[in-house]
Amino acid sequence: MSLEKLADLIFPNIDKTPEYYIKKYPKRNLKEGAIVSRYAPSPTGFQHIGGVFAALINERLASQSEGVFFLRIEDTDQKREVKGAIKDTIETMHNFGMDFNEGMTGEDSSVGEYGPYRQSQRQEIYEAFAKDLIRKGLAYPSFATPEELAALRERQIEAKITPGYYGEFATDRNLSPEEAMEKIKNGENYIIRFKSPGNIENRVDFHDLIKGDISFPENNQDIVIIKGDGLPTYHFAHVVDDALMRTTHVIRGEEWLSSLPIHVQLFDVLGLERPEYAHIPTIMKNDNGSKRKLSKRKDAEAAVSYYTEVGYPAQSVIEYLLNIINSSFEEWRTENPDADYHEFPVSLDKMNKSGALFDIVKLNDVSKDVICKFKADKVYGLYTAWAKEYDKEMYELVTNNEAMAKAIFNIDKEGPKPRKDFAKWEDVRGKIDYFFDELFNKETAENVELPKTLSLEAAKEIIKVYKDEFNFNSGSQEAWFEELKEIGAKLGYCANRKEYKANPDQYKGMISDVAGAVRAALSHRSNTPDLYTIMQILGEEKTKARFQAFLNL
């Protein structure tokens, strides 16, 4: 009776019970095996690549099983909240090809029958569950001040025992309801703690869908369930929300693994059905031989905005993350070069249990493979969308020369082994800038790259002759090359490597030197796609002008 009074005194306006909510949010009517999963970020505005990683696993498993993937906003730490963060989360996930079936759809809107999907709007639900626990003597108000708790902690550490509010140290658990009511009426501040029935001597066996079989001691800490500001802690909100939202799989970062004993216990005491758990390895980085967490402060690539800024297509990032999730993705990709990545079946039990190593070099390889399969029109569209934002000069040049740009992006595209020039849109400028007079004409003799065997003077000698003898309309790559060999031979450059090696003194050099001179004159580069193609894209006039300009360098 007095517990009832205590519960009423603490939560006078709460008249609903847990049973009410359990009935209000019934089990979902989904096909057998359908997974209900969620992405549950705090709205701090900073999108970490680890968040995309976690969301991707959740989204794939829900989608593959024809389940539900929803967005829940965990805003119980209101100090950290950033305006616009919800919109930013939804947009980011959308850009990475992940749309939510349910949950928040904006700052103040949502879809779905299992809401509210924002924790700060669920206060009365948490209170109903907390009130019920108090009524049953399974939770209690605790009046210990932060100073008292700090002093307790110090004493415990000194005595080399586990710190915390538990067992004999949890003195407020022994207050009678009358004593507690007295303190409340006197205006003392309090929080609500869970009265843990656990004993650390007991072990709990547990199966995690990624980590496998694990075993841990029971929780015996009287953890806080409702904070001083009236909002729940993560532990309590997680259990209440995932039970009522009928989440079947909680797939979250492994930093929560150590709290699992608390969560398992809360589900049991509350009599709620526990979801399956999968704890995702933290994304690590190899830093000069030692592994460490990707850090928001030290590593640009920790922020999702980095990938947008340097211009990795979303598909590249996703395919790279799929590689980390299941290493079999790579083989699948080789066997199914043109398949949509959504067709790859993600599986938790094949996931690496310990670290997920993030490696930019590998990301670049994956991304080159992705981009090389994009048709020229698609490359043009994605590149100009990126450049418009991040490289205005290239945006102007490329869009003012659309046909030429598309022809450039189409170089060696259609064959069985398309060129892999770009890992990200930021790479494009350095690979194609020479096509544009506006950029090329700013270059000087210092920019000219030549084969090691050829001096600038010798290159000019070649071009002096070549520019008058070459036929722009040779008709094919092969005919063009035959002609190059003939001109080279006349100038004393050998077209046959063996012959040259046998009598090096009889020649000025090899045909590769002649090609190198032409390449240098047209592009100032020593490494470009095929020269015939470059000349065709530049056009006769520009090609000739470049030969002339080369002689004047």
Instruction: Give every strand in the sheet of 68-71, ordered side by side.
Output: 36-39, 68-71, 102-104, 110-111
What gap in Å lies between CA 169 and CA 185, rounded to an integer? Answer: 24
Pick from 7, 14, 36, 40: which binds ligand GLU (CB under 6 A)? 40
Please identify, among the stretches 15-23, 35-43, 206-214, 370-378, the one whose residues bind ligand GLU according to the rule CB under 6 A: 35-43
Q: How many Cβ atoms from other residues are within 10 Å of residue 491's Cβ?
A: 20
CB 490 within 8 A of CB 427: no
Identify which of 400, 402, 396 has the alpha carbon closest to the alpha carbon of residue 376: 402
Q: Kindly tell me which of 74 and 483 has the beta carbon lying closer to ligand GLU.
A: 74
Identify which of 412, 422, 363, 356 has the alpha carbon closest to the alpha carbon of residue 387: 422
Please identify, among the stretches 24-32, 34-42, 406-414, 479-487, the one whose residues bind ligand GLU according to the rule CB under 6 A: 34-42
Please identify, among the stretches 1-9, 40-48, 208-216, 387-395, the one whose residues bind ligand GLU according to the rule CB under 6 A: 40-48
Map residue 355 onto helix, strand or coil: coil
Q: Kindly tell me which of 188 and 273 has the beta carbon lying closer to ligand GLU.
A: 273
CB 67 within 8 A of CB 30: yes
Nearest residue to ligand GLU by CB is 252
252 binds ligand GLU (CB under 6 A): yes
- 185-244: contacts with ligand GLU (CB under 6 A): 238
Count of residues that bind ligand GLU according to CB under 6 A? 7
Bridge partner list, 212:
208
Q: Kindly tell me which of 41 and 115 has the beta carbon lying closer to ligand GLU.
A: 41
262 binds ligand GLU (CB under 6 A): no
Q: In the chain, how many H helices and how many E strands?
A: 24, 16
Its sign, for the CA torsion 37, 41, 42, 45, is negative
Smallest distance from ligand GLU to CB 347, Å: 20
Q: Phi and psi of 291, rounded to 5°?
A: -85, 135
Map residue 250 onto helix, strand or coil: strand
Identify which of 278, 209, 208, 270 has the alpha carbon closest to the alpha carbon of residue 244: 270
Pick from 18, 35, 41, 115: which binds ligand GLU (CB under 6 A)? 41
The amino acid at 430: G
Smallest distance from ligand GLU to CB 280, Å: 9
Distance between start and end Cα atoms, the chain: 98
Smallest distance from ligand GLU to CB 252, Å: 3
Smallest distance from ligand GLU to CB 74, Å: 4
Please identify, among the stretches 39-47, 79-87, 149-157, 315-323, the one whose residues bind ligand GLU according to the rule CB under 6 A: 39-47
Smallest distance from ligand GLU to CB 234, Å: 6
Identify which of 309, 445, 321 has the alpha carbon closest to the alpha carbon of residue 58: 321
Smallest distance from ligand GLU to CB 247, Å: 9
* Residue 498 assigned to a binding site: no
What the block records as the tokens of 6 is: 């205590």
74 binds ligand GLU (CB under 6 A): yes
CB 337 within 8 A of CB 392: no
CB 280 within 8 A of CB 209: no
Q: Kindly tell me which of 264 and 387 has the beta carbon lying closer to ligand GLU.
A: 264
356 binds ligand GLU (CB under 6 A): no
Smallest distance from ligand GLU to CB 76, Å: 9
- Residue corresponding to tokens 């929803």: 70
177 binds ligand GLU (CB under 6 A): no
Please identify, among the stretches 38-46, 217-225, 288-296, 421-429, the one whose residues bind ligand GLU according to the rule CB under 6 A: 38-46
Smallest distance from ligand GLU to CB 255, Å: 7
Binding-site positions for ATP read 296
Judged by the rule CB under 6 A, the positions of this chain that interact with ligand GLU are 40-42, 74, 238, 252-253
